[in-house]
Amino acid sequence: MRTIRHGGEYELLIKKSRFVCALQRVGDEDAARRFIAERRRMHWGAAHNCTAYVLGAEGEVQRSGDDGEPSGTAGVPMLEVLRHRGITDTAAVVTRYFGGVKLGAGGLIRAYGNAVAAALDDVGELERRTLRIVTVGADYLLAGKLESDLRESAYRVRDVRYGADVAIDVAVAEHALDGFGDWLAEATGGKAEYGLGGSTTIEVEPGAE
């Protein structure tokens, strides 16, 4: 799944009608509804404020609304753009200021979908990845260099804890666990061990390693 890099707004002019798409990152339905209500207050004089949002780790919560446009011509195409791009934890509101020219059902579907797509392109997207947490144990003599090597590597250090020994939490992709074990053995001469923990979700540039 992906999410937007940040909130933003983008405007299209289609046959004299203004379509203003606002996007916002949201963590739950209450936040999505608050954002929608805020946009409706800001644009109370508009002809329509149509909505769509997707929530959840797998995009399992999906809602849309046409706000007076013909059924299925606004909220659904907005939602389809979010779904097609794999976007979650994001709310979209497209405000329409009617310019006097009717677009027809097909024209409305294209306009609302294009408004969301253009806004997504403008704000940018981040890819969400679920990684395993690997806890590496090392003595104090080894830990300093090991932490430095880890931070310079492709692996992601999440936490460092100091006790009788040093515990370093590292986020590793599931498919890269074997490779991490080989890297660790080589980097420490076999003097450090690791155990598997839970998982964490990170956001990275699409296509990043």
Q: 162 in helix, strand or coil?
A: strand
- Split at pLDDT 50, 70, 90, the class of 130 is confident
pLDDT of residue 193: 87
Question: Residue 92 in contact with residue 55, Cβ under 8 Å?
Answer: no
- What residues pair up with 51 in beta bridges, in sequence order? 65, 93
Q: Name, in order, each residue with C-beta under 8 angstroms of 85's C-beta and a sequence gap of 6 or more.
A: 2, 120, 125
Domain 2-123 class in CATH: alpha beta
pTM over 0.85: no
- What residues pair up with 70 in beta bridges, in sequence order? none
Task: Say if residue 103's pLDDT is above 90.
Answer: yes
Over range 25-44, report the average pLDDT: 97
- The answer to which of 4-18, 51-65, 190-204 has the lowest mean pLDDT is 190-204
Equal fold, 2-123 vs 127-204: no
* CA-to-CA dists, residue 36 to 5, 88, 124, 152, 202, angstroms: 19, 16, 21, 43, 27
Task: Say if residue 207's pLDDT is above 70.
Answer: no
Q: CATH for 127-204?
A: 3.30.70.240
Over range 139-145, report the average pLDDT: 91
Q: What is the Cα Rg of the chain in Å?
A: 23
Task: Say if residue 202's pLDDT is above 90.
Answer: no
- What's the mean per-residue pLDDT of the chain? 94
Tokens 């059924």 map to which residue? 71
Higher pLDDT, 202 or 158: 158
Dist CA 120 CA 117 (whole Å): 5
Residue type, 116: V
- The domain limits of the chain are 2-123, 127-204
pLDDT tens figures, 151-183 = 999 889 999 999 989 999 999 988 889 999 999
